[in-house]
Amino acid sequence: MLNWSERFSILLLLDSNSYADRYSKYEYLLAAGAEEIATATDLACVKKMHDTHHDWLFGHIAYDYKNKLERNLVSLHADNIGFEDLVFFRPQVVCYISTGSTDLVIESIADHPDEIFASIIASDDVFNKNPAITFTARTTKEKYLDTVERLRTHIKDGDCYEINYCNEYYAENIKVAPPDIFMALNKVSRAPFAAYYKLNNKHLVCASPERYLQKNGRTVTSQPIKGTAARGINEAEDEVAKTSLLKSIKERAENVMITDLVRNDLARSCITGSVTVEELFGIYTFPQVHQMITTISGRIDEARHFTDAIKFSFPMGSMTGAPKIKVMQLIEHYEDARRGLFSGTVGYISPDGDFDFNVVIRSLFYNEARQYLSFFAGGAITYDSDPNAEWEEMRLKGMAMEKLFSVE
């Protein structure tokens, strides 16, 4: 199906990798081709398109869309990948397998579904090994450690409580096949919000474990991740790591701060008193790491359009820190690269107005025309942060991407 879809200039594939929970709706969801595309500076275009057609919409919101939501925010670093701030498309073809089902559903306003299915079955499913690539850190270790100390000073001075600080790793003059990268990444880092996104000559390969925001009926749910521990070499070591993560004062403090921020964000579009924490400090295991995840939900006010829930909560607090506007200003000042789609989101809106969006982390970005490949990694900085430990956590997250291009 992935190779079949490559014939289209725009597509979005969402793969849950069989991570099923009570919020899951689809095991696999693919949108290909564009009957209509909205590239705009405001979510109003998404509202208008959905209100007009009541059809599937797929697309992305880049981190830099923050500048449209808050007048005091800017992004001044070079944009080496080039994803627009906001793009949504009404697809020609939608294919999906619902959670708990084995039936492939094909909806099409182009070719007949039977013809599409036959074409998919006839497509090759051979993927090639990725070339050996060495990435360069945009920010050196020395500067990274120094910046963590500077951010701790901001926290000590009361400017903020927590800030997400990231580093870019990049390679230039690189020719790669993004579908090959996706298949390789999805093999070593199976994640519940994996995605492959092609927008003309720009590509996202994503192994995200994090849900930004889901709407089911009038209920919206966010599941921020704050707290990371490396996997052990056996089950006993895994249990020790999970227990240590659960009891970590620093990780719990980070998680609570972001939980409060998300509660406040959701309260802006939800019925007063409806926002609740359904699970606090949940420990979940993924191929590379253990994560601490909290689940927060609320009911959208009847007077609000579903796009308001996105507008009032974007960008996600787990990728900024608190207080939100101040830390986004500090992020722009201290980070050395433009985030672009990193820390943004990709996802879908269904014909009935439900939606599900991920957090774009654990991802690679490729501009085919510029032959530029990169990824970002980072973590939450608090006053208790140890600079060397933060560097090691950031490197742990980046290793999953780097190993895809190793010589072995």
Check which CATH number belongs to the domain holding 131 and give it. 3.60.120.10
Domain assignment of residue 252, yes or no: no
Q: Which domain holds residue 355?
A: 2-221+301-315+338-405
Q: State the DSSP code for 276.
A: E
Beta partners for residue 29, in sequence order: 14, 96
Question: Residue 245: inside a domain, yes or no?
Answer: no
> Which residues are identified as catalytic?
210, 226
Q: What is the DSSP string of 70-120?
A: -TT----S--SS---SEEEEEEEEEEEEETT----EEEESSS-HHHHHHHH
In a domain, 270, yes or no: no
Give SS3 for 37: strand
Task: Give the C-alpha separation, 292 to 225, whole Å.
Answer: 6
Do the domain assignments include residue 290?
no
Q: Cβ-count burial of 261 within 10 angstroms (0-12 exposed, 13-18 middle, 19+ buried)?
A: buried
Q: Are 211 and 223 in contact (CB under 8 A)?
A: yes
Q: Report the alpha-carbon distance of residue 114 to residue 243 in Å, rounded.
A: 51
Indicate whether 362 belongs to any domain. yes
What pLDDT does 221 receive?
98
Task: Spell out the residues 6+ positions from residue 44 whose beta carbon is closer than 8 angstroms to its own.
Answer: 307
DSSP 8-state secondary structure symbol assigned to residue 65: G
The 10 Å Cβ neighbour count of residue 338 is 18
DSSP string covering 207-252: EE--EEEEEETTEEEEE-EEEEEE--SSHHHHHHHHHHHHH-HHHH
| Position 119 in a domain | yes
Answer yes or no: are the C-beta atoms of 221 and 213 closer than 8 Å: yes
Residues 160, 327 contacting (CB under 8 angstroms): yes
Count of CB atoms situated within 10 Å of the CB of 187: 12
Please report the pLDDT score of residue 250 as a whole number: 87
Chunked in runs of 10, what are the mean pLDDT values of the chain (408 residues)? 95 94 92 93 92 97 96 94 97 96 94 95 89 96 98 97 96 97 94 97 97 97 93 94 94 92 97 97 92 97 96 96 96 98 98 97 97 96 93 88 84
Residue 114 lies in a domain: yes
Cβ neighbours for 21, distance < 8 A, ≥ 6 positions apart: none
* Domain assignment present for 255: no
Distance CA 357, CA 298 (A): 16
CB of 190 within 8 A of CB of 20?
no
Residue 185 has φ and ψ, to the nearest 5°, of -65, -40
**What confidence score (pLDDT) does residue 406 get?**
87
Neighbours of 390 (CB within 10 A): 22
Q: How many structural domains are present in the chain?
A: 1
Question: Are the C-beta atoms of residues 145 and 386 closer than 8 Å to each other?
Answer: no
CA distance 41 to 230: 39
